Structure 1
Amino acid sequence: MTSVVRLNRWAQVDPAAHPYDPAAAVDVIRRLAPPVPPAAPAFPSLRPGDPVAWDAYRRACQQSLEWNTAMADALVREYGPWAFGWGMAPHVTWDRWAPVVTSPEETLVLVAQELTRWRRWLEGTADRFGRLLPSLRAAAGPGDTVAAWEAAITELLTATVAWVEDDDGWQGWCDRVLTWLLTAAGLPEERSATLVDRALGARFYGWVRLSAADVADIAEHLARDVVGPRYGAFAGPGQGGDDWPDTWPEGWPSWRATNRARPHS
């Protein structure tokens, strides 16, 4: 079984570095695929009180997971690490933990479709990076650089959240895409992951979607962290330098406000 591929570096998924012909995908997958497990009954057809049927379903799930793992391993060997994400992209219709319920040929066609869908999303991300990275490199000074990073991060967050269907899945995708941006700009992988994790933090729970205020906070925090301390830290309580409102839309208190009463002031 293959080990999990951590797709934290843009170089791992950059379409420019990994050729792919969608027209040939089905034929390639037919050549690579291990034998497809037999089709299992769909979950809704199982009767709650039928232990035999439930055991058969669980075995089918395990067989499917093992087959998906072997398929991912073969795709990574053929195409490169980017292909590991073929079954986990947003808008994906494939569930690698569910049993196979189609014929072998239909299954292989579906794998090719999901691989191509994932590839198309990576190509769209590459196009966006191709537009954003030059503006980051062309910034004249620290202030312009921070502004350029804020704009880039805001665009990526907005586009990523809009694309993810699962309200409980946007966090991981925002983390991944922002880390890709930082590594594409030349930051080391470990530092990129640390900065993104710090910016996103643990402020968002469950099925809560990002608001415009959230996006602005993340973009500013991450942009300043990327540029570094030479630009200066945020103004602390009572230090002046801004006149942010006490609250943001949706009643959120702003962490940037310096004109709010605090217990220690």
Structure 2
Amino acid sequence: MTSWPRLDERAEVDPARHPFDAAEAADVVRRLAPPVPPVPPAAPAPRPRRRLDDAAWAASREADRLAAAWNAAMTDALMDHYGPWAYGWHWGPRSLWHYFSQIITSGPETLARVAAAIVDRRQWLEEVAERFDRLLPTLREAALAGPDEALAAWETAFGELLTAGSAWAEDPDCWLGPSSRLLTWLLTAAGLPVARSVALVDEALAPWLNRWAYLSAADVADVAERLAREVVGREPGAPAGPGRSGDDWPDTWPHGWPSWRATNRPPPHR
């Protein structure tokens, strides 16, 4: 098995560094794919209030094992051919295939689904690249203009990526992965070390790790500003410039979210 990448660095998934032809994806998958295991027989549905018997449970576990092994081999082959970015073909965010999915119904259908998933993965990365091509020059210009401008630009960029990550995920249970990746990639693309970028994003998103719902608008604003202040080097709650202070913000927001910017309430988390 190939040593699978974490994909924390933007260069690993930058489409400009890794050629790809969507029209050839189906042929590439057919050429590289290991033999597709036969479809296991469907396990009988358990009777009401009774679990699967031992034989049915064992058959289900074996089907999962075969599917996971095949997916791992397919991932190795795609990465060897396309590069590290292909590792995420089975994760999404708009994934047409889940990593532990059982083999679909037949070899041809399985391979067609894999090809569709790798094309979808690539299209998403190209959309990300277009967004970064717009955001990165703005961040560079703001850095030259001064810390207030840099703070505002980073906050805007982070807010946009958090919103985009949730929209791309298409499932409230899956927003965290795409959003975390996008924030980390932007930081590494802007020149921050990978370890520092990962630590900043992990800390910023830590309060929401176990929330299986999209971030609210207030949550997005909170994460974006906290992360921007860490990047620019301002203390949380410090005025960002003329006319901006902690007391300018309301004390509470929807969903019972108290603003840490307000000075007359204890912070919800630090």
Q: TM-score, with normalisation over the residues of structure 2?
A: 0.88
Q: Which residue of 2 aligns with 1:107?
A: 110
Give 2:31's aligned residue. 31
Q: Which runs of 4+ in 1 moved over 6 A?
A: none
More displaced stretch, 75-84 vs 25-34:
25-34
* CA–CA separation in structure 2 for the residues paired with 1:82 and 1:187: 20
* Residue in structure 1 matched with residue 246 of structure 2 by the alignment: 242
C-alpha distance in 2, partners of 1:166/1:241? 36
SS at match of 1:201: helix
| Equivalent of residue 182 in structure 1, options 158, 177, 187 | 187
1:55 to 53, 58, 63: 58
Paired position in structure 1 for 2:130: 127
Change (3 A) 1:252 1:71: same
Q: CA RMSD in A?
A: 2.0
Change in Cα spacing, 1:242 to 1:53, as seen in structure 2 (3 Å) is closer
Pair 35,259 (structure 1): closer, same or farther in 2 beyond 3 Å? same
Residue 88 of structure 1, aligned match among 82, 86, 91: 91
What is the identity percentage for the equivalent residue pairs of Structure 1 and Structure 2?
57
Unaligned residue ranges in structure 2 (runs of 5+): none
Deviations 1:89-121 (A, max 9, x none): 122221221221321111111111000001000
Q: Distance in 1 between matches of 2:96 and 2:58?
A: 25
1:68 counterpart residue number: 71
Quote the residue 2:256 is aligned against: 251
Give me the whole-angstrom Cα distance separating, in 1, the residues matched to 2:6 and 2:85. Answer: 10
Amino acid of the structure 1 residue aligned with 2:20: Y
Distance 1:235 1:97 in 2: 47
Q: Give the structure 1 partner of residue 231 of structure 2.
A: 226
Cα distance in 1, alignment partners of residues 89 and 236 from structure 2: 41
Going from structure 1 to structure 2, the CA distance change for 1:204 and 1:254 (only over 3 Å counts) comes to farther
SS of 2:207's partner is coil
Shift of 1:56: 2.3
Worse-superposed segment, 157-166 or 110-119? 157-166
Structure 1 residue 118 corresponds to structure 2 residue 121: yes
Q: Provide the rounded CA distance (Å) in 2 between the counterparts of 1:226 and 1:235.
A: 14
Tell me if the contact between 1:94 and 1:114 (Cα under 8 Å) persists in the aligned partners. yes
- Asked if residue 145 in structure 1 is aligned to residue 150 in structure 2, the reply is yes
Q: Distance in 1 between matches of 2:41 and 2:66?
A: 13
Q: What SS does structure 2 have at the residue aligned with 1:202?
A: helix
**Contact preservation (8 Å) 2:183, 2:201:** yes
Query: How far apart, CA to CA, are the structure 2 residues paired with 1:189 and 1:23?
Result: 33
What's the CA shift for 1:189?
0.4
Q: TM-score, normalised by structure 1?
A: 0.90
Does the C-alpha gap of structure 1 residues 52 and 130 become closer, same or farther in structure 2, counting only changes over 3 Å? same
Distance in 2 between residues matched to 1:130 and 1:65, nearest whole Å:
36
Q: Which moved more, 1:78-87 or 1:155-164?
A: 155-164
Unaligned stretches of 5+ in structure 1?
A: none
Match of residue 164 from structure 2: 159
Q: How many residues align?
A: 256
Name whichever of 48-57 and 174-183 sits farther off. Answer: 48-57
Determine helix, strand or coil for the equivalent of 2:35.
coil
Q: 1:195: which partner in 2?
A: 200
**Alpha carbons of structure 1 residues 42 and 224: separation in structure 2 relative to 1, 3 Å:** farther
1:135–1:148 Cα contact (<8 Å) kept: yes
Q: 1:206 to 1:224 in 2, by over 3 A?
A: closer
What are the within-5 Å matches in structure 2 for residues 6-21 of structure 1?
6-21=6-21
